[in-house]
Structure formats: C-alpha cells, structure tokens
Amino acid sequence: AKILVLHGPNLNLLGLREREVYGDGSLERINENLTQLGEKFHITMVFAQSNVEGEIINLLHDEGRTSDCVILNPAAYTHYSIAIRDAVKAIQTPVIEVHLSNIYAREEFRHHSVIAPVAAGQVSGFGHFGYEMAFFAALNMIKRR
C-alpha cells in the first residue's frame, strides 16, 4: 500500500516560521518519522511539498490517485481553495486533512475549512504528532478495505 503525504504552502519553513504556533521541528523530521512508521507497517510513503496551488492539484491527480490514502496539510489553502477541494473530491482516494495548530482556536478566518466536507476526517491541534495520528487513521482505513 502507498500513502502520499502532501504539505501545502509555507510548510517548507517549518521549524523556522512562527515556532510558538507550529513548533521547532522541521518538515524533514516529520517526514523521517513517517518514513520509519511506513517501514514498520510495510507502507510505501511518498512525500511532497508545494507552495503552488496548481502543483498541489496536479500531485493529487497523479500521485494521489495512485495512492491508497493521502495525508494533506493544505495550509492556508484550507480556508479558501475550492480548486483543491474539487481535486480532493475528484479522486477516489481518501484524504485525511491535517493541521499542526488547532485552527478553531485561532483567528476567525482559520475556523472554516473548505476541504473538511470532502475529507475522510481531520486532525487539528496536535502539532507534529498529528501526522502520526493521521498515519494510523490511514493504516486503519487501508486495512478495513
């Protein structure tokens, strides 16, 4: 089985950017942790990060469609990208939405996710560990199929 982990805009700066909100670990560290989990549970992990909306959509169409599950942090696009929402809806692959921060405890404009209604589920507020939670949710979905 294969899981695509897709990180949206500005997440390449994780560990450098707003550390009080997002923590001081890097994106590489999140990916390394998920790689180890993948090895342990015999799942092929594929990683991508993009700051470009269209690229995220292409990744969902190509890599996402051939994956068994997608773990997606759409970052700021969460709140307004109907194009990414439509891409999530268009592919058959279940998509788990992840946010490091608790988006409901932050500015009002972050309270709404246009992705959530088309996602399999959402993890928000648990920092780096949220990706691990999403991994096990994905594993569970893959096993149940």
Q: Is 101 annotated as a binding residue?
A: yes
Q: Between 108 and 144, whose beta carbon lies closer to ligand DQA?
A: 108
Q: How far is the CB of 10 from ligand DQA (least distance, A)?
A: 5
- Could you give the CA distance from residue 25 to residue 13 in angstroms, rounded to a whole number? 10
List C-alpha distances in Å: 131 to 67, 82, 108, 136, 138.
17, 23, 24, 9, 10
CB 128 within 8 A of CB 23: yes
- Could you give the CA distance from residue 32 to residue 39 in angstroms, rounded to a whole number? 11
**Is 128 one of the binding residues for ligand DQA (CB under 6 A)?**
no
How far does the chain reach from its first CA to its final CA, in angstroms?
11
**Is 101 one of the binding residues for ligand DQA (CB under 6 A)?**
yes
- Selected from 78, 81, 93, 122, the binder of ligand DQA by CB under 6 A is 78
- Selected from 99, 115, 122, 123, the binder of ligand DQA by CB under 6 A is 99
Q: How far is the CB of 144 from ligand DQA (least distance, A)?
A: 27
**Is 76 one of the binding residues for ligand DQA (CB under 6 A)?**
yes
**Is 105 one of the binding residues for ligand DQA (CB under 6 A)?**
no
Q: Is 86 annotated as a binding residue?
A: yes
